[in-house]
């Protein structure tokens, strides 16, 4: 642990991991049953979201991509309102108009979910510039994938943020996949961090399946952005253990590679450590699971009961 790591109850981190997994599994089951639309999940990547978001301060802003449920839930989003949004209902965070792929939640400081790959990278320097010009204290956390890093806007974004000294914490969730293409087939380097160094941006790499390691690394990186007023890139090595979107048979995935990552499931790693360090026993674990299940059941009931928006709402709050 470094001096910048906030003291967060480790059980809270574990509960957030479970909540994200349960929330996304509810969508997997709901979409398989035809009750909900299929969507992109972040199953396998929960530790990156929980570790990184918990390293941020209340004033910091978040821009994210099409796998944003973990970032939103770790930031305190209500699972019922989130699910209502996915289901296109009036009580969703964007009144049912964004679906899962465009959710913004101003009250949580989540500026954008971009389904345009790299859209969050294109906007992050602008948001950071606005923060700086308005004299606000927050930094901008920009979550993106290794696929987005293969796009031109990644390079434009990093170049500008470095040139203009913008307080952006770039967080690459390197989940090894870019839709149905393995990163090995698309990247000239092993690590996205190798590219960032070329722009003079300090980089850090971390085991993205270890929530405590991510919290530590993200806290150090966020402190570096805050102190220097300049960008830093954190690359979390993780794995998308479900398909690109639901449903997806993952027929293109190497079974051995998948099995190796499943053996390092972030929830199991966290649970084992909590037990080993005496933070968790069977009764406490069962209580957490029960609480999470109850929240998810309530979220489903809330979203189901929420009406679709009225037809007159169609063009309200829509800018383009």
Query: Which residues contact ligand TPP by CB under 6 A?
Result: 66-67, 115-117, 145-148, 175, 177-179, 240
The residue among 49 and 168 lying less far from ligand TPP, judged by its C-beta, is 49
The residue among 30 and 147 lying less far from ligand TPP, judged by its C-beta, is 147
CB of 148 to ligand TPP, least distance (A): 4
How far from 311 is each of 172, 212, 314, 316, CA to CA, in Å?
39, 46, 6, 10
CB of 244 to ligand TPP, least distance (A): 6
The residue among 157 and 306 lying less far from ligand TPP, judged by its C-beta, is 157
The residue among 21 and 271 lying less far from ligand TPP, judged by its C-beta, is 21
Return d(Cα 252, Cα 152) in angstroms, integer.
26
CB of 319 to ligand TPP, least distance (A): 19
CB of 78 to ligand TPP, least distance (A): 24
CB of 172 to ligand TPP, least distance (A): 9
CB of 69 to ligand TPP, least distance (A): 12
The residue among 110 and 220 lying less far from ligand TPP, judged by its C-beta, is 110
Burial 246-277 (b: 16+ CB within 10 A, else e): bebebeebeeeebeebeebbbbebbbebbeee
The residue among 119 and 138 lying less far from ligand TPP, judged by its C-beta, is 119
Partners of residue 181 on adjacent β-strands: 178
């Amino acid at each position: 642990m470094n001096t910048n790591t906030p003291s967060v109850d480790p059980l809270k981190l574990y509960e957030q991991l479970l909540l994200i997994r349960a929330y996304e599994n509810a969508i997997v089951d709901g979409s398989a049953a035809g009750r909900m639309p299929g969507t992109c999940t972040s199953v396998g990547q929960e530790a990156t979201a929980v570790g990184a978001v918990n390293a941020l301060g209340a004033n910091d802003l978040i821009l994210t991509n099409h796998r944003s449920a973990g970032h939103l839930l770790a930031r305190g989003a209500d699972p019922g309102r989130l699910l209502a949004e996915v289901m296109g209902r009036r009580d969703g965070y964007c009144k049912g108009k964004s679906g899962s792929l465009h959710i913004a939640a101003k009250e949580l400081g989540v500026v954008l979910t971009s389904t345009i790959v790299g859209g969050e990278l294109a906007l992050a320097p602008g948001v950071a510039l606005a923060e700086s010009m308005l004299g606000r204290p927050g930094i901008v956390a920009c979550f993106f994938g290794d696929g987005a890093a293969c796009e031109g806007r990644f390079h434009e974004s990093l170049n500008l943020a470095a040139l203009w000294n913008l307080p952006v914490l770039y967080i690459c969730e390197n989940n090894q996949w870019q839709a149905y293409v393995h990163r090995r087939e698309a990247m000239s380097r092993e690590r996205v961090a190798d590219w960032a160094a070329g722009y003079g941006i300090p980089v850090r790499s971390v085991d993205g399946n270890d929530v405590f390691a991510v919290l530590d690394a993200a806290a150090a990186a966020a402190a570096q952005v805050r102190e220097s007023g300049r960008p830093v890139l954190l690359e979390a090595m993780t794995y998308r253990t479900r398909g690109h979107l639901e449903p997806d048979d993952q027929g293109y995935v190497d079974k051995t590679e998948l099995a190796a990552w499943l053996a390092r499931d972030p929830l199991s790693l966290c649970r084992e450590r909590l037990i080993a360090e005496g933070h968790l026993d069977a009764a406490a674990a069962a209580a957490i699971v029960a609480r999470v299940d109850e929240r998810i059941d309530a979220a489903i009931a809330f979203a189901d009961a929420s009406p679709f928006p009225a037809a007159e709402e169609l063009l309200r709050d829509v800018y383009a």
